[in-house]
Structure formats: C-alpha cells, structure tokens
C-alpha cells in the first residue's frame, strides 16, 4: 500500500499525525518515534527494510489493510542511520515532544532534525577531514558557490564564470559532499553530480531573511555571494533545526592566493590517498601527518590540497620550522601538551548546537588545561600568534563537571559535590535515606528473628521486605506487614515506614536528576559565550600542530629549507620522492633537477620501470611541499613560486562517461595548454600513446612546440617516441635527459639515475622478460626485432618545419604474406600483450601453410 492510496477519513489519529509530518519531508525517510522504537511506514518502510535488511511487517491504523511498517530500537538507531546516510538518503528524526506519561490523548511529535551526508554533527564524520555541504546558485550569467562545514563552522564563497566544466571542477576539487541548487541549473549537471560523483543534490528556492545570522555575510559587498550564502543557510536551518551561531564569517576564496591543481593532479600525485587502494596510507598526507589533534590533521590536509602562493607567508612558515628544530626541547614539550588537546573546533559546534554531553565538557576542560603551557612556550620561541588562556572557563568546568559523568545528560551524576548547595543537600538526603533503609533491614531482622529477611527495590513496587517461604510463619500481625507480591520461593511485603522513606528517596532522586540537568544546561550556556574565542584559539592551535608535524617530519627524514627565487629557475640537488624513499626497501637513488632561465622543457626518455614517472612526480611534490611551508627532500633546492600544476600521468579509460584513454588524454592536455601560464608546471607522461603511432607522435610534437613557443611553462615531458629527441636542435628551450639503464648479457639493470642527453633504444622486450613472459616468446620477439632493424624501417626523425612527415618506407618485395606482416609491425611500439597476440597469429598462419 502507498500513501497516495490511503483513505484519510478512516485512519487512526497516530497515522494521520504521521502523514501530516511526512508531507513536509517528502524527500526524506522519517524515523517516527513510538515508545521505544523508531518506526517507518509506507514507501519509507519498503525502502528502509530493503536497505537495512529489516523485516517488513504491517500495522493496523484503522484501514482494512495493514500498512507497510518496519522499526528499529530508538537506543540503537545510530548504526541504521549511518547506513542510510552513507547510501545517500536523508533521514528525518521525528521525536515525541511531550512525555507520554503526562499527556492525555495524542503525544505531540515533530521533526527535531534532518540528517544528511553534508550536515552531520555527530561522531560518524571523519575527524581528520572537513565535511562540506555546498550550494550552487545559477544566476544564468555566472554561478555563485558557497560551502560550509557545519561541524567546524567554516563558511566559504566564490563566484565563477557560467562554464559547466569549471563548475564541476570547483565542486569536485573542494570535496563537497552534498549540494543545494536552484531550479535554473541545467539538469545535465545535476545528473552528472548524482551519477558520476555520487553527490546528494537537492533543489531549493528559499532564502534566509532573518537577522540572527546576518553577521556571516553582512560585510560582503557582492550581492551574488550574499545571495548564495543565504540560499545555503536556509537549508541548514531547515535541516538542523538548532542553534548554528557557531558558523563563522564568510571567507572569500581567492584562487590567486593558492597553488591550483585539479582533482586529477591530486589523484595522480597521490597527495591525500593512493591510486590503487584509495587509502590514506602511503600518500603524501600520510607521510607528513604527525599531528596530535584532529584540527591539525584537517588543517594540514587543507594546505596540501591548496598550497600557498604568498611568498611572505611561506617564508614565515620556514622560519617557524627552523625555530622549532633549533628549540628541539621546546618542540617536544609542545608535542606533549598537544596530547591533551581535543577537537576544539567540533566541540565548539556541539556546544552551540546543543548536542553535547558531560564528557564533551570534560574534553573541553582537558584541552583548556594545556593552554597555559602552550601559551608560555609559544611566547618563549617568539611565535607570532597568541593563544588565549581561558582560565575562568577552565575553573568553572573543573569545579562543576563530575569526572565520571555518564554519556547521557538525564541520568544524574553530572555535577561534582560542592558546586551547588541545594544539590548537595538533596544528595545528602538520598544518601542518609539509603543508609536508613539498611538500618531498617537490620532492625527488622532483630525484631522478627528472621535472619534471611532482606530489603530490596524494583521499579514496579519500589522498596519491599522479602521473606523466604520457610520463614513466613514467623511473621506476626503486630509487625504491620502488608503482603504485596507472592513468588515461587518468597513473599514480599511493605510497611508504612518503608513507604515513607521511599517517597523521600525517590523524590530526592528525581529532583537531583532534574537539578543536575538544569545546572548542566547553565554551564553549557556559559561555555557557549566562549565559542568565538575558542574558534580563534582553535585556528592557532591547528597551525601550530601542523608546523610541529612538518618540523618533526623534516627532522626524521633530513629535509632542508628551500630557497624561493623570483627568477624562473629550478635547481634541485639530489632530490627524492619523499613517499617512495620512505617505503622503498632498496636504497633510494636521488636525482638532480636543473632547469635554468633558458630551459623550459625537459624531454625525458628511457625504458619503462626506470623511474621517469617517479622523477616527474618528485618535482611536483617538492614544489607542493615547499609551497605549504614545509622543508623538502633534497640536498639543496632553489625554485620559483608556481601558480598552477597540470599533470597527465598514467593511462586509463573513463568508463563512467564512456571516454577512451586517448580522449581523456586530450581533454587533460587541453586544460593544461588552455590554462597554464609561464609560472605553471606541466607534467606529461607519454602523452599521445593512446592513439596510432604517427598520430600520437605528431600530436606530442605539436603540444611540445605549443608549450615551447606560446606558454613557456616549466614542463617535464616523458616519451617513448625517441624521434622527438631531435627537437632539441630546433627548440632552444628544450633539453633532453634520460633515465639510465645498463644492459649486460641480454639482461637489463635499471639505474634510476637521470642523465643529460637522449637515448634512442627501447627496452620493451627486456621489460617483457622481467614480467616473466615465456622464454620462447621472448626469443621469438628478439628474432622479429632483428629482422625489423635489418630491414631499416626505423622512422625518420622529426623536424619542426612540418607535422606532416614522410614516413613512407622503401618498397620491399615480400616472399609471402607472413614476411609482409612482420615488416609492417614495429616491436618498439608494441606492448607485451600485443606482441604475444601477434606471435600467436603468425605461428597459427605458419602451421596452416604447412598443412
């Protein structure tokens, strides 16, 4: 049965209430609180039962047919919620707003929050990463983008041109988990976000028009940005339904202040996760992250994904690392203090929103306890940012919150003795009354002579006197025992005195729990007044934590301080790839990277597996590390500040969009040649290999010439087209280098050393041998290669005069079709599997001819 099929004149009051609430939240699954369960009905029940593997049952609600229903225990709902959110659903939590015990008639219910992937405030989100929800407002001539991390309060915004490709790149690069869009946006973009990138997209048309949150955008003069932020803000208020005053002022995103690269470059360089396992381990972030706090880890990740271009700030960070390495004792003391610091950013958000518990306040107290020492050390080493010490807040939490407080705030045991006199008095009453209960038990044993008599308690009968069956005859009428319950082996009684004390004890218990809750809320309210100051402290602590991490990594791995130059030169001595060096079981072979004012392009040749890609990535990673303010892995380093990095490393089809390797190559090459400047870095690894040999070679040369003549960006271009090396004679700013290998007795040894000059020999068959292809196949491949080389069919070298080259080979007379086929192939261009297939076909034809 569906909701649309329901006759509302016949349904029960509870189901009518559910349907009225559901109409307000059509695109969500509603967890509808009924007693100790959250229940789902109709389509929600069918979806949830499937996704959560729950039993689908039915519920009577006044209709002839039972409506579909499934349920989960309210105290264990979180794991079910996590699964639905991860699968891309929205979940509305509908709670009982009044106490069923005190309510006559229907219990009032309402949605207290809508949980979505981008708006979570609980522990389910990754503590080491930001969790952004964003909005795209299509103004038809441009796009306004804003994005907010509700868990930390950071708010960002920018306006971009009305270009779909740029819009997609911005959203994906910023790792936004959920998007709000207005109705004018192209549906193809929405479908792309949903289908290709698995983003939750919601259409909205409402704006925030209140006053409480105007501080977020009131200083912004661009009405497009304020419109976009108000658009997103209303969605957050509608979903979170709580106090979001921890949200900070809007920060404008200025791309000129950061080294730019797209999601492909981030992936190719394995900056925050590896390509193979999509795992943090063995990425650059994994290597550099020695932070002690979640705040520091998030800040480091944000810097790796968006390095700086402002020279003054980069040099400031170098100075800090240098100081920390000099003051190594202070550095270790700081690290020790940071072990006490919890996630102040997210604690602040929980204080504001109101979903914190006593243990959160204890974490806040422990964090505050470290601030005086951190403040003192930072002053001693001359750190240029101040950490405020909130002594009064620390003292409040120290005096008030019980160290053994429970997770929930409605169980009592939240407040320490001595903080509140009335609470202490109630606790004394409770304690003395319980002592009096024990005294009653002893007195009754003596009065009745029943030695096994005991006083017990349960929630149904309260306090009672329990007497075993064998001792029942000893009970006399004058004892005043009133029988309350008969069990198999005993009977339970009450007395007027026992009931009197029970009322005192239980009354005190209820008052204690209620008073402790009120006091807790008062303390939370006081802490809420410190949120702005806590957020400022958090920003400084996050930076200090990151700098401590970078100093630690520099010390452990022998990194050096880079020199930033205004000239367009790169002089790196004995550079290393930091991650490969760290995980490699063999001794790492360092390499120089030298590109003077007159060298813009290094054309890199050499065999597969020799280290060309590592050499290229190594340069990009050194630059990124330098521009986040880190020391770098080399003996010496002189580099300029770069504005953008473009990479095309590795070849793979884009199966989702149905694009071939070559199309992906050309698209990424187009982005580079369209957007790069002379201050950019371009890394192209074997560009053009995704198409036919001559096409690929021609395109590779044309791209090299275009970069050389028009863009003048620093470029590393690796290739297997050895013919391209002759370009060095025509392109004055191109220089050949090669990764060396040594061949002895038919075996190849990779030296991983980059040397000047070009190589004109390929080692494809040697690599195939290392891959353990059959010996007979390798021998046959070498025979074919010898025939090919003796026939003199090597391609002519390129000149810059024309892309249309004379590749016509001399006519040869073939003895048969098999020889002709051998003449037509080029083993240098073949992959091992192509060579294997070719040999198989040739062998098959020879055998057929012999028959």
Pairing of the two strands 57-59 and 747-756: unpaired
**Residue 809 confidence (pLDDT):** 36
pLDDT category, 807, cuts 50, 70, 90?
A: very low
- Over the stretch 237-248, which tens digit does the pLDDT of each residue have? 999 999 999 999
Taking alpha carbons only, the member of 240, 243, 232 closest to residue 113 is: 240
Q: Does pLDDT of 748 surpass 90?
A: no
Nearest-angstrom CA–CA distance, 436 and 645: 78
**Residue 51 confidence (pLDDT):** 96
Kindly give the interhelix angle for 311-326 and 531-557, rounded to the nearest 10 degrees. Answer: 70
**Residue 623 confidence (pLDDT):** 98
**Residue 660 confidence (pLDDT):** 66
pLDDT category, 796, cuts 50, 70, 90?
A: very low
Nearest-angstrom CA–CA distance, 633 and 614: 14
pLDDT (mean) for 637-646: 97
- Dihedral over alpha carbons 748, 750, 753, 757 (to 10 degrees): 40
Q: Does pLDDT of 824 surpass 80?
A: no
pLDDT category, 586, cuts 50, 70, 90?
A: confident
State the number of CA atoms in the 13 A half-sphere of 284 facing the CB: 30
Range among 74-78, 90-94, 822-826 rated most confident: 90-94
**Residue 791 confidence (pLDDT):** 56
Q: Does pLDDT of 654 surpass 50?
A: no
- Over the stretch 509-557, which tens digit does the pLDDT of each residue have? 888 999 999 999 999 999 999 999 999 999 999 999 999 999 999 999 9
In which region does residue 500 sit, left (phi positive, over 0), alpha (psi from -120 to 50) or beta (all else)? alpha
**Residue 705 confidence (pLDDT):** 92
**Residue 132 confidence (pLDDT):** 97
Top pLDDT among 797 and 522 is at 522
User: Token pair 């920003």 is at which residue?
Assistant: 539
Tokens in use for 471?
A: 């001792």
State the number of CA atoms in the 13 A half-sphere of 804 facing the CB: 0
Q: Does pLDDT of 808 surpass 50?
A: no
pLDDT category, 793, cuts 50, 70, 90?
A: very low
What residues have CB less than 8 Å from 518, skipping those under 6 apart? none
User: What is the percent of the chain with per-residue pLDDT over 70, rounded to a whole number?
Assistant: 89
Q: Does pLDDT of 416 surpass 70?
A: yes
pLDDT category, 221, cuts 50, 70, 90?
A: very high
**Residue 742 confidence (pLDDT):** 67
**Residue 332 confidence (pLDDT):** 96
21-35, 54-68, 307-321: lowest mean pLDDT where? 54-68
In which region does residue 167 sit, left (phi positive, over 0), alpha (psi from -120 to 50) or beta (all else)? alpha
Average pLDDT, rounded, for the chain: 88
Range among 424-433, 630-639, 681-690, 704-713 rated most confident: 630-639
Nearest-angstrom CA–CA distance, 394 and 403: 14
- Over the stretch 456-502, which tens digit does the pLDDT of each residue have? 888 777 889 999 998 999 888 888 899 988 898 999 999 888 888 88
pLDDT category, 832, cuts 50, 70, 90?
A: low
**Residue 298 confidence (pLDDT):** 97
- Over the stretch 90-125, which tens digit does the pLDDT of each residue have? 999 999 998 887 777 888 999 999 999 999 988 888
- Over the stretch 699-741, which tens digit does the pLDDT of each residue have? 888 899 999 999 999 999 998 888 888 899 999 999 999 988 7
Concatenated DSSP letters of 630-662: --BSSSEEEE---SBEEEE-S---BTTTTB-HH
- Over the stretch 145-174, which tens digit does the pLDDT of each residue have? 999 999 999 999 999 999 998 999 999 999
Residue 734 phi/psi, 5-degree rounding, is -110, 135
**Residue 769 confidence (pLDDT):** 61
Q: How many helices (H) and strands (E) does the chain have?
A: 25, 26
Q: Does pLDDT of 743 surpass 60?
A: yes
> What predicted TM-score, i.e. pTM, was given to this entire model?
0.84
């Amino acid at each position: 049965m569906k909701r649309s099929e329901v006759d509302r004149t016949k349904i029960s009051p509870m189901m009518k209430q559910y349907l009225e609430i559901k109409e307000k939240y059509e695109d969500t699954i509603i967890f509808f609180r009924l007693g100790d369960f959250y229940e789902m009905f109709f389509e929600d029940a069918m979806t949830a039962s499937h996704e959560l593997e729950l039993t689908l049952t039915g519920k009577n609600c006044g209709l002839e047919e039972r409506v579909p229903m499934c349920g989960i225990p309210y105290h264990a709902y979180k794991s079910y919620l996590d699964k639905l959110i991860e699968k891309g659903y929205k979940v509305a939590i509908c709670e009982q707003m009044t106490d069923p015990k005190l309510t006559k008639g229907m219990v009032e219910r309402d949605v207290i929050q809508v949980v979505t992937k981008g708006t979570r405030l609980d522990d389910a989100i990754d503590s080491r990463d930001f969790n952004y929800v964003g909005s795209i407002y299509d103004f038809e001539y441009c796009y306004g983008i804003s994005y907010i991390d509700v868990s930390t309060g950071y708010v960002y915004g920018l306006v971009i041109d009305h270009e779909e490709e740029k819009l997609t790149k911005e959203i994906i690069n910023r790792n936004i988990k959920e998007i709000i869009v207005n109705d004018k946006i192209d549906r193809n973009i929405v479908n792309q976000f949903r289908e290709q990138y698995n983003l939750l997209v919601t259409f909205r048309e409402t704006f925030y028009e209140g006053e409480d949150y105007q501080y977020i955008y009131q200083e912004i003069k661009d009405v497009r940005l304020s419109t976009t932020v108000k658009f997103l803000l209303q969605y957050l208020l509608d979903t979170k339904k709580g106090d979001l005053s921890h949200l900070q002022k809007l920060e404008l995103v200025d791309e000129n202040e950061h080294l730019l690269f797209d999601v492909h470059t981030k992936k190719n360089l394995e900056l925050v996760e590896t390509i193979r396992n999509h795992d943090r381990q063995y990425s650059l972030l994994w290597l550099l992250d020695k932070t002690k706090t979640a705040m520091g880890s998030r800040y480091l990740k944000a810097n790796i994904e968006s390095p700086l271009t402002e020279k003054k700030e980069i040099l400031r960070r170098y100075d800090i690392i240098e100081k920390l390495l000099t003051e190594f004792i202070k550095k270790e003391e700081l690290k020790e203090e940071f072990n006490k610091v919890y996630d102040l950013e997210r604690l602040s958000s929980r204080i504001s929103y109101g979903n914190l518990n006593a243990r959160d306040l204890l974490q806040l107290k422990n964090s505050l306890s470290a601030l005086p020492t951190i403040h003192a050390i930072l002053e001693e080493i001359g750190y240029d940012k101040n950490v405020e010490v909130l002594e009064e807040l620390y003292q409040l939490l120290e005096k008030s919150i019980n160290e053994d407080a429970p997770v929930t705030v409605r169980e009592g045991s939240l407040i320490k003795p001595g903080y509140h006199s009335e609470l202490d008095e109630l606790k004394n009453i409770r304690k003395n009354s319980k002592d009096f209960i024990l005294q009653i038990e002893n007195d009754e044993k003596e009065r009745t002579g029943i030695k096994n008599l005991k006083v017990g308690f349960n929630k149904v009968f309260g306090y009672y006197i329990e007497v075993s069956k064998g001792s029942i005859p000893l009970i006399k009428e004058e004892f005043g025992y009133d029988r309350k319950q008969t069990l198999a082996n005993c009977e339970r009684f009450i007395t007027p005195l026992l009931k009197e004390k029970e009322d005192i004890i239980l009354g005190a218990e209820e008052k204690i729990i209620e008073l402790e809750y009120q006091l807790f809320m008062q303390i939370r309210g006081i802490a809420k007044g410190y949120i702005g100051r806590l957020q400022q402290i958090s920003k400084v602590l996050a930076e200090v934590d990151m700098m401590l991490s970078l100093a630690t990594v520099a010390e452990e791995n022998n990194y050096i301080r880079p020199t930033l130059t205004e000239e367009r030169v790169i002089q790196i001595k004995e550079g290393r790839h930091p991650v490969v060096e760290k995980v490699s079981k063999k001794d790492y072979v360092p390499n120089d990277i030298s590109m003077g004012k007159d060298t813009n392009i290094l054309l890199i040749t050499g065999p597969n597996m020799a280290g060309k890609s590592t050499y290229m990535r190594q340069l990009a990673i050194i630059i990124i590390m330098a521009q986040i303010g880190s020391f770098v892995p080399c003996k010496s380093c002189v580099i300029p500040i770069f504005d953008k990095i473009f990479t095309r490393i590795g070849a793979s089809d884009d199966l989702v969009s149905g694009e071939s390797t070559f199309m992906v190559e050309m698209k990424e090459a187009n982005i580079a040649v369209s957007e790069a400047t002379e201050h950019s870095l371009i890394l192209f690894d074997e560009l053009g290999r995704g198409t036919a040999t001559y096409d690929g070679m021609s395109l590779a040369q044309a791209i090299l010439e275009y970069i050389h003549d028009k863009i003048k960006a620093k470029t590393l271009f690796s290739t297997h087209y050895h013919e391209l090396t002759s370009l060095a004679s025509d392109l004055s700013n191109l220089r050949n280098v090669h990764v060396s290998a040594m061949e002895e007795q038919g075996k190849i040894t990779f030296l991983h050393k980059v040397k000047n000059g070009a190589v004109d020999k390929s080692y494809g068959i040697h690599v195939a041998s290392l891959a353990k292809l059959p010996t007979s196949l390798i021998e046959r491949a070498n025979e074919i290669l010898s025939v090919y080389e003796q026939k003199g069919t090597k391609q002519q070298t390129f000149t810059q005069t024309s892309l249309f080259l004379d590749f016509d080979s001399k006519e040869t007379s073939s003895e048969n079709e098999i020889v002709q086929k051998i003449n037509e192939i080029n083993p240098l261009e073949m992959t091992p599997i192509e060579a294997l297939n070719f040999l198989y076909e040739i062998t098959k034809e020879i055998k057929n001819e012999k028959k």
